[in-house]
Amino acid sequence: MNIVWEKIMSTLRAQIFGRILIQKIEFFDKYKVVQGLVNTFGDLRGTLAAVERINSVLSGAPVDDALAYGLERELKQKTMDDESYKLVLANISTENNQKNYLHYMSALKTSSNLCNLAWSGDICLEDVYFSYPLRPDVEILNGLNLRLKYGTVTALVGPSGAGKSTVVQLLSRFYEPTRGCITVAGEDVRTFDKSEWARVVSIVNQEPVLFSVSVGENIAYGLPDEDVSKEDVIKAAKAANAHDFIISLPQGYDTLVGERGGLLSGGQRQRIAIARALLKNAPILILDEATSALDAVSERLVQDALNHLMKGRTTLVIAHRLSTVQNAYQIAVCSEGRVAELGTHFELLAKKGQYASLVGTQRLAFE
């Protein structure tokens, strides 16, 4: 029992620290939060209390639903084998505690209305302003306007500090705009619960999050067990160019990947993350420097998988490699918190503006 809890809490801590760092919260000044993070909790009541404390510090941003679902799944498995877990669960039967349990431990939920909108409508950032909570006097986005046309790829490029990563965080709803709004098919995304929004957005970034479970479980992570078959996992892995290397592993899809996927190479971890996104089948896709840390061979395999993943999805790509962005439906050049230029690769080159300058100075590299 203690081993299972240590595994669960190790994963929970890693996810929470990552989210806090993204949120740029000075958590070392928060004694109660630090205390909650570093203690190993002995029962479910302690775990739920910690999640609630962390959630309040994150200003309402929900703890990652995939992580919550994984925690719930491990608890359910132990409940079947251990009477002590049944006693712990019985202790949260009060109306208030049960409500909190259902909120944090439910599997990912989706709104059919939101899903339909995301599969058919454009995403618009309309006159968006944003400042981080710890730097309210510094505007990162300054009236940014951008339309992501449904089913197409938009590449966002620009110098460091131009606001590209902030756009990703707003589209992920780690934050909400200070002013302005983000809409999907004309509906303000703030009208939807963040857990519902998480269900329609997939993110593949430079450092994908893998858990200390098997390859197959990592691909299916966050999805209800009854909705995922072994055949579904294999199909997603094949589409992500991951199947061949997976079956060469000692136990195939049952091979453990190690802490944070440490037993796999960078390219292998990326392909596992892409397979997970394919299986999730979300209509909105964000690729944040997804191939920037890979060697040439791995990049080709990953890029082929990404091309398959992007088909039919509304996609935002953040990249510094020209090969990644030049075939996008549109390229937006971000500068000083606004979109300074917008067009195709050849249209922007013909303008001889900021995009042409980025290409000319190889800040967008021909690799």
Q: Which residues contact 309 (CB under 8 A, 6 or more apart)?
A: 204, 239, 240, 274, 277, 278, 285
Q: Does 24 score more than 80 pLDDT?
A: no
Q: Are 37 and 13 in contact (CB under 8 A)?
A: yes
Q: Which amino acid is at 314?
A: T
Spell out a b/e string for 44-72, using b for 16 or more CB atoms within 10 Å of the CB, else e.
Answer: bebbbebbebbbebbeebbbbbbbbbbbe
- The DSSP H or E segment spanning 366 is none
Return the top range by mean pLDDT from 27-41, 89-103, 142-156: 142-156
Find residue 203's DSSP bridge partners: 286
Query: What is the DSSP pairing of strand 123-130 with strand 141-148?
Result: antiparallel
CA 284 to chain centre: 11
Considering the segment(s) 114-360 as one domain, its CATH architecture is: 3-Layer(aba) Sandwich (3.40)
Q: Are 329 and 152 in contact (CB under 8 A)?
A: yes
Interatomic CA distance for residues 190 and 177, integer angstroms? 10
Per-residue model confidence as pLDDT tens digits over 276-310: 888 888 899 998 887 766 667 777 777 787 888 88
Q: Does 87 score more than 80 pLDDT?
A: no
Q: Which of 56-60, 150-154, 177-181, 242-246 has the lowest mean pLDDT?
A: 56-60
What is the chain's length? 367
Interatomic CA distance for residues 78 and 365, integer angstroms? 51
* pLDDT for res 32: 37
Query: What is the DSSP pairing of strand 123-130 with strand 201-205?
Result: unpaired
**Which structure tokens are listed for 157?**
């490029």
**Which structure tokens are listed for 31?**
């004694």
Number of Cβ atoms within 10 Å of the Cβ of 293? 13
Interatomic CA distance for residues 171 and 164, integer angstroms? 11
* Nearest alpha carbon to residue 174 among 41, 64, 289, 287: 64
**Which structure tokens are listed for 295?**
């060697």
* Nearest alpha carbon to residue 13 among 44, 45, 41, 32: 41
* pLDDT for res 323: 74
- Give the DSSP per-residue string, 3-21: HHHHHHHHHHHHHHHHHHH
Residues of the chain with CATH 3.40.50.300: 114-360
* pLDDT for res 364: 55
Q: Which residues contact 276 (CB under 8 A, 6 or more apart)?
A: 202, 218, 219, 220, 221, 222, 236
Interatomic CA distance for residues 155 and 320, integer angstroms? 10
**Which structure tokens are listed for 246?**
């997976």
Q: φ, ψ for residue 127 (rounded to 5)? A: 50, 55
Q: Which of 169-183, 248-262, 338-352 has the lowest mean pLDDT?
A: 248-262
Return the top range by mean pLDDT from 168-172, 238-242, 279-283: 168-172
Interatomic CA distance for residues 284 and 110, integer angstroms? 14
Interatomic CA distance for residues 299 and 305, integer angstroms? 10
Q: φ, ψ for residue 244 (rounded to 5)? A: -60, -45
